[in-house]
Amino acid sequence: MRVPGRQGDLLMRVVFLAVIFGLQLRLSAGEEPLRFGRDVLPILSANCFSCHGPDESQRKAGLRLDLESEAKGSHSGGTPIVAGKVAESTLVQRITSSDPEVLMPPPDSHRTLTEVQKAILQRWITEGAQWGRHWSFESPVVSGEVPAGSAGIDRLAEVRLAARGLGLRPAADRYTLIRRLSLDLIGLPPTVAEAEAFAASADPRALEHLVDTLLAREDFGEHWARMWMDLARYADTKGYEKDLGRTMWPWRDWLVRSLNADVSLDVLTEQLLAGDLLAGAEDQQRLATAFHRSTMSNDEGGTDDEEFRSIAVKDRVDTTLQVWMGLTAGCAKCHSHKYDPISITDYYGLYAIFNQTEDADRYDDAPTLELLGDQQRQKRSELQARQADLRVRLEESRAADMLGDDEGWRVLSLAAGESQGGALLKAEADGTILVSGVRPAEDVYTLTLETPAGVMTALRLQALPGIGASVAGVGRNGTDPNFVLSELEAELVTGGRVQRLRLVRPRADFEQNNWPVAAALDGDLKTGWAISPRQREPHAAIFELEQPVHLSAAAELRLVMRQHYGNSLTFRQFRWSVHGGAAAGLQPLQASEKTRGLQSELTAVDQELAAVAAGVSKVPVLSALPVERQRETRIHRRGNFLDPGEPVQPSLPTELRFGYELRGPATRLDAARWLMSSGNPLTARVWSNRIWSRLFGQGLVETEEDFGALGSLPSNAELLDFLALGYRQNGWSLKRLLKVIVLSRVYAQDSNVTEQLRREDPGNVLLSRGGRFRPGAEVLRDQMLAVSGRLSLKRGGPPVMPPQPDGLWRSTYNGQKWVNAEGEDRYRRGLYTYLKRTTPHPMGTTFDGGSGEVCQIRRIRTNTPLQALLTLNDPTSLECAGGLAEWMSGESDQRVERGLRRALIRPVTQDEVAALERLLADVRVMFEEHPEQAVALLAGARAQRPQSISQAEFAGLVVVASTILNLDEFLSRR
């Protein structure tokens, strides 16, 4: 270490003396000692750990400041931290130096410590440099003097306010309070009648009864599910290039039901992460694991499935840590975390836990869970029983048909078989050749068949459907089990001599239109023999030899079956035979009338089963790999899955286990129980903060997504710990936590801002008033629909497509189209809107909603002109104005006042009404002069004009209604 110059040294000593003198004065005054995790660690993390932290690849001078033993140990340049001795601590010498070559952080790091930060570090050393962990990793602690329940919230807030000469504001009026509670708890506004009843009630427990009523409504689960859907990166499509549709809505409905039933967070966590691993897991528990199947999958041709499977597994690790522990782990994919105690080995230990599931970026999203209704289940069971019976009878009938048909035919044995596409060709005992394994779009089978001595005049190819198979059919494409034999070539190999055989006069039992068996011998690879629509029946073709072949000894027959149509229309199961008699009279077997009848019945049953299957929801879920198929996990060097490093076992982060004990390699169930364990201080804090932020517009920790070293400090740490402990002690009940918060005086405060509050607490960090903020996209839309009278309360089921601009949803690769819904589906709640990842609905994106591509921990509110344009001109916004205008025109008296009251809930003033009456008069005159504009407006608003008022008057009411729905008071939650 370079020693500062003499002047710099003198200056530093003066600074030391001044700081120490100031510290002694403050300490003597009884100021609370500094806490390492709260006051010191954030400074070191943000400014020092990138070069002197956990990441050994970036560590400078071999110095670590994240470990106490290293920070307080002797090094070649001195001891960084000497407890109680500021002047001897090289860390202080460095941060206060005026020499740019000595100064830390170095100038080229673009980091600079403030004078306050320097003073904190020096004061901490003076106080003894007591070490500890980051504040969020310490167990929550609350003084025994704090009362329980809502009163505890009030006490802890008042203490903080009193320190700034402030107190709690008076409670908001009851009209404001019921609207606030309704929007916060169920995402819908109250009716005027409900507000009047609450305002007039003399019951001292009226507020508590109101809260209980709101918490019990089914609307509750629909509102709070939206938060979970953001966390789950919920979407109705797969993402990436094609962005094809995916069935995820049953998970959304499961979530709504679970929240309404107030399923505790610990139970939810086990089901979401490991429902399939629970003892006796039922369908609903397995359905819960769709939480982690919401990761994107890539159907683009030519992509590496393993690459995108790996990306999905990493997403699950990152999402799990952020949702439950508020920690960012992404950088540990490539190197040990620079700021938080998550090494690259820790990261891939977690990766190994989530690496043992069946899903593998497949086109069909397998594995999936079929969710059948009782009627569907019964019908499928009946059809499957009929299908099994028909299959047995059909096999018997076909066997009877074939009696005598094999006379003179000799089945050839397979000596060798090769698939150009890499499939496996295997000979069965009866000479049948079964194809399995990879399924290329096109293929060429080269067969070497053992041919006995004798005369050979004809060849017979039998395509067999394999009725016992999971998919009955002669081809390998499961949805279209057809085949196309593009060309057939034959050679005879005897004693090393190869003789080309010319095949003539082909005939088959059945030929698809324009695909005759003769096309298999025409030399054109674009033609061939096919058999649709009878691809689930056995078929046969006979090929005569132009000249009979006389074999004095066994020989080899080499057949080349070229299949170049594409779409995997290749043979799945077939058999070759030779005949030695007169070829002219040979004919392929024709099915008997009985066989054809049974086949028709079976085809009809298959079609019915397919129709039932088409109506069954198949949801992607997690399913554990069996032990014998468990994947080996290795560290990905620099995050590259193609560059594996040391092997790792499924495990939990070493420094974040918080006393949780593992018995063997960790599973997803272990991960869930570790997250919810009593020793884990993060989960309760993170979730309490998340719920608080939904009620106040911001969390006690502003960075909801980061409770680590670089995250924000809590604005009221004692209050956060109070909430966290209460949440855990009350059984992780969301409804109980919400009730405690909303019954507090802190929550009930009015939101008016005085000059003192603007000066002392401009961001309401001290909770000096009620929260005032703009609700999320879904609440804004649902509120407009509710006030308009058009809101549909239809619950659950597939997503819907409310209006959006034409041409916005262009699916270049998949051909899917957005079709604007009609009827009540046009006006359903926002959480039911179809979410396409590459083109989300503009209402969501304009008001800060996500695309479902990644986990969205919080929606950071923005303020843009597009938002105003949307609430004024979006089709749904205009139709809501039309609906409100229809309601307003229902009675002739006080139309404007009634409309304004319906939207704002509170009683309105005559000045407010008069302003809107003037607007109505002005626009009525305009519409009388321009009736075509009135017609266009009413058409867009889908509003039905009552006969009692003129067209111009009614169009004016639509304008007034739109104005009401765009008032700041209406669009804000106050």
d(C-alpha 275, C-alpha 255), whole Å: 13
Whether 692 and 744 have beta carbons less than 8 Å apart is answered as no
- Helix H, strand E, coil C: the string for 230-247 is HHCCCCCECCCCCCCECC
d(C-alpha 356, C-alpha 379), whole Å: 35
Whether 317 and 675 have beta carbons less than 8 Å apart is answered as no
Read off the pTM. 0.83
The partner residues of 175 in beta bridges, in order of sequence, read none
The total of other beta-carbon atoms located within 10 Å of residue 435's CB is 21
d(C-alpha 792, C-alpha 804), whole Å: 18
885 DSSP assignment: H
The answer for residues whose C-beta is within 8 angstroms of residue 722's C-beta and 6 or more apart is 140, 142, 146, 152, 153, 156
d(C-alpha 253, C-alpha 232), whole Å: 14
Evaluate the CA torsion angle 607, 608, 609, 611 in order and state its sign: positive
Domains and CATH numbers, the chain: 6-132 (no CATH), 264-365+618-679 (no CATH), 408-588 (2.60.120), 873-971 (no CATH)
Angle (CA) 471 474 478, round 5°: 40
What three-state secondary structure class fits 644?
Answer: strand
Whether 211 and 180 have beta carbons less than 8 Å apart is answered as no
Phi-psi domain of 361 (left: phi exceeds 0; alpha: psi -120 through 50; beta: other): left
Whether 908 and 900 have beta carbons less than 8 Å apart is answered as yes
pLDDT at 499: 93
d(C-alpha 293, C-alpha 246), whole Å: 11
β-strand pairing of 644-648 with 633-636: antiparallel
Q: Per the structure block, which two tokens stand in for 376?
A: 């569907």
Per the listing, tokens 């001195």 go with 78
- Roughly how many angstroms between the first and final C-alpha of the chain, as a whole number? 58
d(C-alpha 659, C-alpha 534), whole Å: 65
H/E stretch holding 742 reads helix 734-742
pLDDT at 15: 39
Distances (CA, A) of 64 to 55, 94, 136, 330: 9, 15, 21, 22
Distances (CA, A) of 455 to 450, 548, 578: 14, 7, 9
Distances (CA, A) of 698 to 753, 767, 775, 859: 17, 10, 12, 10
State the helix-helix crossing angle for 910-929 and 931-941, rounded to 10 degrees: 120
H/E stretch holding 747 reads helix 745-748
Question: Mean pLDDT by 10-residue block, N- to C-terminus, for the chain (974 residues)?
Answer: 38 39 40 82 87 82 86 88 91 89 88 91 92 92 91 97 96 98 98 98 97 98 98 96 94 98 98 97 97 95 92 98 96 90 95 97 94 89 93 85 79 96 94 94 96 95 73 84 97 90 95 97 96 90 95 94 96 95 87 85 89 91 96 95 95 95 93 97 98 97 94 95 97 98 98 95 96 97 98 97 88 80 97 96 95 96 95 96 94 87 97 97 97 96 92 97 98 95
β-strand pairing of 555-563 with 487-494: antiparallel
Evaluate the CA torsion angle 956, 961, 966, 967 in order and state its sign: positive
The partner residues of 539 in beta bridges, in order of sequence, read 463
Whether 509 and 468 have beta carbons less than 8 Å apart is answered as no
Nearest to 636 by CA among 855, 357, 350, 361: 350
pLDDT at 4: 39
Distances (CA, A) of 448 to 412, 415, 495, 573: 10, 5, 14, 16
pLDDT at 495: 80
Cα pseudo-dihedral 806, 808, 812, 818, rounded to 10: -60
Q: Per the structure block, which two tokens stand in for 421?
A: 């596409």
